[in-house]
Amino acid sequence: MAQLHNRVSRKELKEKILLDPTPRITISFYCYFNILEPQIFRNQLYKELKALDIFGRIYLAHEGINAQISVPESNFEMLRSFLYSIEPLNGLRLNVAVDDDGKSFYVLDIKVRTKIVADGINDPEFDMANRGRYVNAEEFNKLTNEADTVVIDMRNHYEFEVGHFENAIEVPSDTFREQLPMAVEMMQEDKEKNIIMYCTGGIRCEKASAFMKHKGFKNVYHLEGGIINYVNQAKEKGLPNKFHGKNFVFDQRLGERVTEEIIAKCHQCGKSADTHVNCVNDSCHLLFIQCDECKTKMEGTCSEDCLDFIHLPAETQKELRAGVDKGRNIFNKSKKRLEELK
């Protein structure tokens, strides 16, 4: 029987993919559809994708699938054929990465969760079928040229910080579940305007558009395929690109370059920078923006405390790390921004 979980250490797998010259394509996709037995579907999916040498992160729930994966270029068509053989996924849009080095993932993780997007919605009357209308890149550009259109970014503060659409409104919060009611509250005075919601690949803004309609908003749209699909469409069709900066992604790359503009600043010295890193201190791993100069000066750490920590003897570090829960350790400006908006 095929193994249904990875059995090799992640460190070994990461080193292996960095040395592997095989051309790989990073893609993402999602679909809201009813999965009766997510665990059974998960095991079937794992066997099929493992055979195609696919790495990545996939979440399954009764409400559907959310995937970010890396596939060998030579297996891309076989992957598409397999996915399209699953009836609800037939014709599924596969978002190909904008800026890809083929090293985005190094292991295959498929997990069953309560929801594919943690939304905090418990209202039994909420219906994903009553979602906003899709807009493609051309329609997005046209609508955003109109004065009665509002663009809402449904990503986290650290994603917005390095790149976003022109005149987009940030909903400053730590989580998507917090953003949903906040977006409703922030848009009360603009309820009659066209509201376009967007996110990285489409999964969050699609649910957000349904939530806005659930709360009584009428003219709600969401960007089809999110930023990734928009940028690809703009390139293919020669359209003006209204996204500026870098698109944050949740894999080893931590971002894909869309334009050469750097709109963020180093969290340590304030110079222009938009490279996200994790603090090299294993008891911290703070996600923050660091410029090359600070990376050298601070040896990849986020603070003087962490710099001192990594120079302690290995055994001392291990003892001090014991029992430490890092949780969601992210450099956070969102609460400050929220206060500024009040």
Same domain, 154 and 93: no
Same domain, 105 and 141: no
| Residue 191 in domain | yes
The CATH number of the domain where 50 resides is what? 3.30.70.100
Task: Please state the φ and ψ torsions of residue 80, each to the nearest 5 degrees.
Answer: -60, -45
| Residue 321 in domain | yes
Nearest CA to 223 out of 248, 197, 254 is that of 197
Same domain, 103 and 205: no
Output the pLDDT for position 22.
Answer: 87
Same domain, 142 and 240: yes
* Catalytic annotation, pick one of 199, 266, 279, 302: 199
Same domain, 237 and 279: no
Q: How far is the C-alpha of 25 from the C-alpha of 100, rounded, in Å?
A: 7
| Domain that residue 142 falls in | 133-244
Q: How far is the C-alpha of 46 from the C-alpha of 108, rounded, in Å?
A: 8
| Residue 202 in domain | yes
Same domain, 36 and 101: yes
Instruction: State the burial class of residue 166 (Cβ atoms within 10 Å of its Cβ: 0-12, 13-18, 19+).
Output: exposed
Q: How far is the C-alpha of 273 from the C-alpha of 267, rounded, in Å?
A: 9
Output the pLDDT for position 337.
Answer: 40
| Residue 119 in domain | no
Q: Pick from 244, 275, 303: which residue ends a domain?
A: 244
| Residue 91 in domain | yes
**How many structural domains is the chain composed of?**
3
| Residue 69 in domain | yes
Same domain, 219 and 140: yes
Question: b/e map of 103-120 (b: 16 or more CB within 10 Å)?
Answer: bbbbbbebebeebbbebe
Same domain, 268 and 240: no
Find out whether 248 and 255 touch, Cβ atoms under 8 Å: yes
Same domain, 237 and 268: no
Output the pLDDT for position 150.
Answer: 97
**pLDDT, tens digit (0-9, with 9 covering 90-100), for 182-238:** 999 999 999 999 999 999 999 999 999 999 999 999 999 999 999 999 999 999 999
Q: Pick from 212, 244, 276: which residue ends a domain?
A: 244
Q: How far is the C-alpha of 8 from the C-alpha of 340, rounded, in Å?
A: 48
Query: Is 199 noted as a catalytic residue in this protein?
Result: yes
* Regions of the chain short of the pLDDT cut 50: 1-2, 333-342
Output the pLDDT for position 17.
Answer: 64
| Residue 128 in domain | no
Same domain, 100 and 42: yes
The CATH number of the domain where 218 resides is what? 3.40.250.10
Secondary structure of the chain in HEC code, one letter for each residue: CCCCCCCCCHHHHHHHHHHCCCCEEEEEEEEECCCCCHHHHHHHHHHHHHHCCCEEEEEEECCEEEEEEEEEHHHHHHHHHHHHCCHHHCCCCCEECCCCCCCCCCCEEEEECCCCCCCCCCCCCCCCCCCCEEECHHHHHHHHCCCCEEEEECCCHHHHHHEEECCCEECCCCCHHHHHHHHHHHCHHHCCCEEEEECCCCHHHHHHHHHHHHCCCCCEEEECCHHHHHHHHHHHHCCCCCEEEEECCCCCCCCEECCCCCCCECCCCCCECCCEEECCCCCCCCEEECCHHHHHHHCCCCCHHHHHHCCCCHHHHHHHHCCCCCCCCECCCHHHHHHHHC
| Residue 127 in domain | no
Nearest CA to 169 out of 197, 192, 143 is that of 197
Same domain, 148 and 207: yes
Output the pLDDT for position 243.
Answer: 98
Same domain, 206 and 234: yes
